[in-house]
Chain A
C-alpha cells in the first residue's frame, strides 16, 4: 500500500515539475534562450501569492492574478532588459546563459534580503489531507494533477493547432527565415516568455500549501526544469512534461526503500543515465521538428 501512496504523491510532484518544465521547454525551443532564471519566475510568483494572501489579506483569486502578473512581468522583463540587448550584439548562447545565471543569483539574494531564509507555508483546506480508503492526498496535490492534465495539452494544442504555435515552431526551426518573410521575431519571443512564465504559476501558487517556499527553491526548481527538459528531449514540450512526471514519480517511489535524502541523487542519476544511454531524451527525435 505504501508503494501506491508514494506513486500517488509522485504523480502530484511530477505534475508540478511538468508544469515548470513545459514553460522552460517552450521558452528554450522557441527562443533558443537557456532561461536559467526560470526558477526565479516560480519563486517570485509563489512569494507574490503568499504576500497577497497572508500580508495584504487579498482574496485568493486576486492573489492568483497578482502571481500571474508577477510571473509574466518578470519573464518578459528579463527578456526585454537582459536578453534582447545582448541578442542585438550577437551574444553567444553561453553569454546569454551566464547572464541568465546572474539574474537567478541576484534575484535569489534579493529574495533573501526581502523575506529572509525562512520557510513560508500556508495552512488551510488545500493543505489538509483527504482520506480515500487507505490513501491520503491533499486537495493541493489533486489540483496540481488536475491543472497539469489540462494545461499541458492546452500548451501542446497551442503549439500545433494555432497560428501562434506555427510561428513558434517556425522560429524554433529557423528564426532568420521567419524574419526574411517579414515577421518581427521579437514580438513572438516576448509572447513565448509570457506564456512560458505563465505555465509555472499554478505550481507556484500551490507550493506554499504543499512543501513551503524559501528563496533557495528558485535554484532547485530551475535544476529540475532543466533535468526534465533534457530527459524529455531538449526541443520537445511534450517530452519535458513527460520528463517532469518521470522525475516526480521516480523521486517519490524511490524513497520506498531509500531515505528521502536520496531524492536529488535519484533525479540526477536518471538525468545522467539518459545522457549516457539516450542523450536525445524520450521524445527528442520527434521533438526536433515539434
Chain B
C-alpha cells in the first residue's frame, strides 16, 4: 500500500515537473518570439556611451545629437521602418564597454553602432570586426583609432589636431618651451608622442613631460615641476573632470602661462571654468550653414535644447544620418540590413552629404576635415582661425 502511494507521489511530482518545464519553455518561446517581432519593427543600432561616471557629461552631449537625428530621420519616413538607438552604458571604461558591446552584438544583434572614447573604442574594435558590426567613433581622438575594417571615425584624430594646433600656437604665442601633462592611458600616451613629433619639427623643446594616473586628483607635485621649469605654455591631454582639476591646480599653483589642449577641452564645464579662460584648443570646423540638412539640424537643435550644437553633436548626428543613408541603399538592393551589406554600401558610396558638408572615409576609416582653432573667452569657445589640412 505504502509502495503504491510512493509511486503515485512520484508520478504527480513528475507530472508537476512536466507542467513547470512546459510553462517555462512556453514563456521563453513567447519572449523569444516577442524579441524577434520587436526587433523586426525597427532598424536598431547600438549606442555605447558613458551614461554614468565622471565622463557622463560627454555621453549627455553626444546623446542629444543622436536623438535629434533619429527624430529627423523617422519624421521623414523614407525608410520602410523607423530607426531606433539602443543605449548601453560604457562608463568610458574598457571593461564595462566590452560587456556592453557583447550585449549589442549577441543580444540586440545590431549591425551598426556608435562608440566614444579611445580606450573604449580600442577595446571593442576586435569584437565589431569579428562579428561584422560597423562601429562609428565621433568622440575619441587617439591616433590608434585608425583601425579600418568595420571601424570608422567621423572625427579627425589627435595627430591631425596637433598637426594644426601646435604650428599655430608656436608661431602666434612664440612658444619655445612646452610643458605637457598627459593622462597615462593609450589616448594620453599617443597624444604625447604626437606632440613630441610636432615639437621636434617646429623647434620647440618639451620640459617637463608629465604623465598622470587617470584617477589622480592631486597634481601639486606636477604643478611644482612645471613652475620650476618655466615653460611658455602647458599642453593638457586629459579628459572629463580631471582636465578641470589639472587646470585649476595649475592656476592655483602659480602657473599662469598659455594653456593648450585638444578638442576634448571644448566641453561645457571646462569652458565655464574661470581658470580655463584664455586657453587655446582646436576641433573640427563644422559649418551649420553648409547645406539644408545642416541648417535644419541647427535650428531644431537650438529650439529643442536651447543651446548651440557643437562638433560632437554634429559627429554623432552624422553617424546616424550615415546609418539611415546606408540602410536606404541596402533596402533598395533588397538585401538584408547586416553589417556586411552596410559596409559594402559604404565602400561603394564613400562620400556622404551630412551636417557641415561632405564627409569621405579613407581606407583606414578616418576623415580629413577643416580644423578650427578656438580661444576660451567668457565661458565660450571663440574661433580664432580655420585651417584646411
Contact = CB atoms under 8 A, between A and B. Distances in A.
B252 A127 contact: yes
Interface in A228-252: 252
Interface stretch (A35-43, A64-72, A182-190, A210-218): A210-218
Contact of A260 (B53, B56, B216): B216
Contacts of B213: 260-261
Contact of A210 (B211, B218, B224): B218
B52 A117 contact: yes
B196 interface: no
A261 B216 CA distance: 9
A289 to B, nearest CB: 37
Nearest to B220: A9
Contacts of A84: none
A222 to B, nearest CB: 16
A118 B212 contact: no
Contact of A261 (B211, B217, B242, B274): B211
Interface stretch (A92-100, A128-136, A198-206): A128-136
Contacts of B267: none
Interface residues of A, number: 32
B225 A2 contact: yes
Q: Which of B91, B211, B227 has the most C-beta atoms of chain A within 10 angstroms of its own C-beta?
A: B227
A128 to B, nearest CB: 5
Nearest to B224: A5
Nearest to A9: B220
B218 A261 contact: no
Interface string B168-201: 0000000000000000100000000000000000
B215 interface: yes
Give the bracket for the number of chain B residues in contact with chain A: 20 to 34
Contacts of A212: 217-218, 241, 245
B53 A119 contact: no
Given A136-B253, A210-B218, A259-B210, A119 B228 contact: no
A117 B50 CA distance: 12
A1 interface: yes
A6 interface: yes
Interface of A: 1-2, 5-6, 9, 13, 116-119, 121, 123, 127-129, 131, 136, 138, 141, 210-214, 216-217, 252, 255, 259-261, 263
27 contacts: A2-B228, A5-B224, A6-B221, A6-B224, A9-B220, A9-B224, A13-B218, A116-B52, A116-B53, A117-B52, A117-B53, A119-B241, A119-B242, A119-B245, A121-B217, A121-B248, A123-B275, A128-B252, A131-B254, A136-B253, A138-B252, A211-B217, A214-B217, A255-B221, A259-B210, A260-B219, A263-B221
